[in-house]
Chain A
Amino acid sequence: MANVKAAELSALGGATRERAGGIGLFAGGLLTLLLVMVGVPLVMVVLMSLRTGFPGEGGPLTLANFAAVYSAPSTYKILLNTLQFACGTVVVALAFAVPLVWLLNRTDIPFKNTIYVLMIVGILVPVFLRTIAWILLLSPRIGLVNQWAMQLFGLDQPVISLYNIPGMAFIQGVSFVPSAFFMLGAAYRTMDPSLEEAAYTSGVSKLQTFLRINVPITWPAIAGVMVYLFMSAIAVFEVPAIIGYPARILVLSASIFTSTNPPTGLPNYGIAGAYGAVMLGAGLLLAYFYVRLVQHGKKYTVITGRGYRPREIALGKWKWAALAFSFLYLSMEVFIPFLVLLWASLLPHLQLPSAEAWEQISLNNFATIFDFVDALPFINTAILMIAVPTLTMLLSVLVSWIVVRTQVSFRGSLDTIAFLPHAIPSILLGVGLAYLSLAYRVYFPVYGTVIIIAIAHTISWIAYGTRTTNGVMIQVHRELEEAGKVAGASTARVLGRIVLPLVASGIFNSWIWISMLAYREVTMALTLGTRKNVVISTIVWQFWGSGWVPQVAALGVILVLFAVVVVGILKIVFARYGEFGADGH
């Protein structure tokens, strides 16, 4: 008996080793693919910073670009602007996100679910549309608020302007609130509520408990979110391009874009690379701090009891103040931008509400939209919405399966590489890929196609994709898989019949979410854009550049409504699977 067992064991061991070899090879291939996808655009950014002339002209490597950029005083103004803009953005985002996290997680604020859903809708309103809407409201020249104030008080000066760093930080900060909210909320929920209750039963006051217990324990998470927001604020492009650029307030991202897409003259990839290298360096450094903070935070998560939900704090008469605060935020995030766009889309030209304006209201702008745009951008956008999530989720599932389920020695590195795009600014990814496809068009003949945008998007969201697939894979207990094998099912059958059905809803959820992100993305689409691969978001951008406000508004309304309808339907379908797209960004 004992002998038979030993023989069986050694046979089993042999089979496992053999299969481990196959998995190792497969994982190695995957690692190489990811290294190429993530590494090559970054190498291109570095390479272009060391070369002068057009992409593909070759020539010796030189530091001339750095010398040109960092000897110009204007560069330091740009860096200072970037820093101020990023700090302001973080402050604005946290000022709204922290109270909202507390209100929605710990108090009995009414309409909780509605607020949640509207936050998610907020993510789907593209930042550039929100920015445009706020310009229509607060621009000194055409802004409705200024027009109205000047009319009412007989002023000849506008009362408020968005064209300054606080204005930019305000719009960007408001746009970051949902990301900050969902990240902080996740950290807050992993904190055992009895840690707080233990302080109360020790006779410690609510304020002291908040300061001495809640803040220190959640501090790594809050610091992590701050670093993450700061990192993102340095990299964002839409607000700096739409508000900052016309007002001559340049930040790094806008400088990179204008170097490669100058309004007049020839593109200078070398200069863009020299700006980009700084942004890349700062991004990677901040990403390192971010990972450190997150790991530190994990040390603080402790095993909880049976999860007795803490009593919700009764707000009493403060309920309405809390609701007003949430409503104020949601107005800035969703309601006001949407209403402004809707108003502008129904009129032949932007004007204040009046009897005359009411008479001119029509759906004309919607009906004539196809006089301005053909079907191509819609087709291209549809291609992105299907190709990008499919590619991303396919890669994510494979990566997560290796990372979570196998013993491959370099699975940690694989996970890190997959997470790295989180730290890569989309503007650099776009510029790097543009340079690659221009300089090496013989080997990589995709310049000006929708394929290159799809590649950029896939690289960009593989970090988000793998985070969610890691999550769902961990939730499927290893024993479920092993029980299947013990029952005599093959590896393929176990994957297909046990693992896949269990993770399918989670994966589909992320698929839809990434599809929506691809739908609204503009930065990469713009840096990689030509006349052939226009998508809806870049068309809106072009319209805005041409000053076609009613058409921008009409397309914007369509863009937002479509996203809301898709998410609305999925929210209902997915109601039993928990939050939809909870930690998307």
Chain B
Amino acid sequence: MRKWFDSRRGRVEALRGIDLEVAEKEFCVLLGPSGCGKTTTLRSVAGLEKPDAGELEIDGTLVNSPTKGVYVPTEKRDIGMVFQSYAIWPHMNVFNNVAFPLIKGRRKIAKDQIAPKVSAALKLVQLDGLEDRPATDLSGGQQQRVAMARAMVTEPKILLMDEPLSNLDARLREQMRVELRKITKAAGLTTLYVTHDQAEALSLGDRVCVMNEGEIIQIAQPQEIYARPASLFVAQFVGEMNFVKGEVKAKDRVDCPLGAMAVAVPDGLAAGTGVTLAIRPEHVKISPAPSHGVATRLGKITSKNYLGDAALLEVEVNGVTLLAKLAGDTELTVGQNAVVELPEQRWHVFAESD
């Protein structure tokens, strides 16, 4: 399955060249800040928005191509979609909501097959037994499940989800996150999922596609996105990061307020160029006693934020404040001087203009 398109709508370029291919049975997450074009991308796949240029294919079928004059309307596309507001039809009960695509939809099936199909879908989302419940009497989490069942009941070629968890409270959201992945994997569905929540993206996606200003910045597996952000934007958007400005001195040396760092400088950044160095808080090591083998610096702990399983410490080194994430049982306290270790292989180097 392939799809790619770019779109120019009026003077605002909502999407400036999106090239994305979702593999069969893959769970692909579109991640980005609001207004980055992720929802527009999703809605274009659904046919609810019309891209102005580029081509879009679902399972080898061309569904959109302005140059060839092809536009398959939403109702003729083999898709399922879960909306942010769930869009559960309030005048129908649970059974009718889920059965509606089978009765009136593109894939009408024999009457006697409807009930078993609906039951199977409801069982998958653990709502069996609630068939006769009016849709307006459901809790947010239950509506969410009905929306899932309705989107999956036709076994679509691709399941589209537009921030489906954002209206749930935090605890339910985490619970549904785990279940959502289980359900889509059990049904063997190809999924395109939109979110602005990076934790959601990392835990759900087989692949995560980070977007900004109508462009794809990085597509990779979640581990790759987290461990090797392709740009300063991705580094800022996904997870916590310490940033320090510096200047390239040689192929393997960057000078910054923390001192000279022996780090690998990416190609194309000549000596004298301004760069941003970045390191994750969990890689900043703080200890009361000096250890050997790595460049060590002295710093002073300026704040401590105890979280139970972890503790976030701010430590000041040469006028630079760094955030460090330590195990919760650390005995370091505010005001204490400590040795700060910054392992050189953990540093990322980004061009300033990123």
Contacts and interface: CB of A to CB of B under 8 A. Distances in A.
Nearest to A213: B89
Given A192-B87, A304-B85, A201 B46 contact: yes
Nearest to B39: A308
Interface string B45-60: 0111110000000000
**Pairs A-B, 10 closest by C-beta atoms:** A203-B106, A202-B101, A203-B105, A305-B84, A305-B85, A201-B81, A200-B74, A198-B87, A194-B87, A194-B83
B136 interface: yes
Interface of B: 39, 43, 46-50, 73-81, 83-85, 87-91, 100-101, 104-107, 136, 147, 150-151, 154, 160, 162-163, 167
A303 interface: yes
B154 to A, nearest CB: 7
Contacts of B147: 198
B154 A203 contact: yes
Interface stretch (A42-50, A139-147, A204-212): A204-212
Interface centre among A203, A300, A304, by most chain B C-beta atoms within 10 angstroms, is A203
Given A198-B147, A209-B75, 4 more contacts: A194-B87, A198-B150, A202-B75, A203-B78
Given A217-B90, A305-B85, A201 B80 contact: yes
A201 B153 CA distance: 12
A192 B104 contact: no
B105 A197 contact: no
B75 A311 contact: no
Contact of A306 (B77, B84, B87, B100): B84
Contact of B154 (A197, A202, A213): A202
11 contacts: A200-B48, A200-B75, A201-B48, A201-B74, A202-B101, A202-B105, A203-B76, A203-B77, A203-B105, A212-B100, A305-B83
Contacts of B101: 202-204
Contacts of A212: 100, 104
A200 B47 CA distance: 9
A401 to B, nearest CB: 31
A198 B83 contact: yes
Interface string A25-40: 0000000000000000
A198 B90 contact: no
Given A198-B81, A201-B46, A306-B84, A206 B75 contact: yes
B128 to A, nearest CB: 21
Given A200-B48, A217-B91, A300-B90, A205 B83 contact: no
Given A198-B81, A198-B150, A204 B87 contact: no
Interface in A159-216: 192, 194-195, 197-206, 208-209, 212-213, 216
Contacts of B87: 192, 194-195, 197-198
A221 to B, nearest CB: 12
Contacts of A199: 75, 89, 100
A202 B48 contact: no
B91 A216 contact: yes
A217 to B, nearest CB: 6
Contacts of A310: 48
A205 B75 contact: yes
A300 B91 contact: yes
Contact of B167 (A206, A303, A308): A303
Contacts of A200: 46-48, 73-75
Interface string A289-311: 00000000001101111101011
Given A202-B150, A205-B75, A217-B91, A303 B106 contact: no
Contacts of A205: 75
Interface string A210-228: 0011001100000000000
A487 to B, nearest CB: 30
A213 B92 CA distance: 10
B104 A208 contact: yes
Interface in A301-343: 302-306, 308, 310-311
Contact of A204 (B79, B104, B162): B104
Contacts of A308: 39, 43, 84
A584 B182 CA distance: 53
B140 to A, nearest CB: 9
Interface in A413-444: none
Nearest to B98: A202
Nearest to A306: B84
B49 to A, nearest CB: 6
A192 B47 CA distance: 18
Contacts of A194: 83-85, 87
A198 B88 CA distance: 8
A67 B80 CA distance: 67
A201 B105 CA distance: 9
A129 B151 CA distance: 55
Contacts of B106: 202-204
Contacts of A195: 87, 89-90
Interface string A342-377: 000000000000000000000000000000000000
A15 B167 CA distance: 39
Contacts of B104: 202, 204, 208, 212
Nearest to B49: A311
B225 to A, nearest CB: 25
Interface in A393-419: none
A310 B88 CA distance: 17
Contacts of A216: 91
A203 B48 CA distance: 12
Nearest to B46: A201
A194 to B, nearest CB: 4
A208 B78 CA distance: 18
A300 B135 CA distance: 10
A101 B106 CA distance: 29
B89 A217 contact: yes
Contacts of A302: 85, 88, 90, 136
